[in-house]
Amino acid sequence: MFGFKKKERIVELASPVNGKMIDLKEVPDKVFASEMMGPGVAFISNDGKIYSPCDGELITVFPTKHAIGIKANNGAEILIHFGLDTVQLEGKGFRQVAKEGQRLKKGDLILDVDIVFLQKKGYAIETPMVITNSDEFYVKVNKLANVSTNTEVVITLEKK
């Protein structure tokens, strides 16, 4: 009535990449594999593009562009971390498309990553997507293998 939008209770996260979805425990980084950052899944991108998994806001882009934070419309905070130890590249190989503070629609392109460059430099390209405020949500992870952006639901988040 006055332009206020009711917060969504349930948000379905689509795959942020085209490629393969893997269990978070398969990521060769103990912080992600042990879910210290939160529950989630990981991906191996086949084209280096990162898309928004949901409608929300791009709240953080790390200065090195290797990781982003999205706040979904239900308040869920989602961290997408492209590759492992890629912070050391200081942004080389990463092209930011969306701007911090920008409203996102599911499927909007956020980052474009040169995965060939990363792999030539010896970096793993496993890409965790975790829910950093998961204590506020019921988190249901779907088991999928090959994924495409904006199609399969990989995680369902319901506000507690």
| Listed residue (143, 118, 138) closest to 26, CA to CA | 143
Sorted by where each begins, the domain ranges of the chain are 10-159
Q: Which CATH number fits domain 10-159: 2.70.70.10, 3.30.565.10, 3.30.70.340, 2.30.40.10?
A: 2.70.70.10
Question: What are the pLDDT digits (tens) for 3-57?
Answer: 444 467 899 999 999 999 999 999 999 999 999 999 999 999 999 999 999 999 9
- For the annotated catalytic residues, the residue numbers are 81
Which pLDDT value is given to residue 151?
86
DSSP 8-state code for residue 28: S
pTM of the full predicted structure? Answer: 0.94
Question: What are the pLDDT digits (tens) for 112-158?
Answer: 999 999 999 999 999 999 999 999 999 999 988 999 998 889 999 99
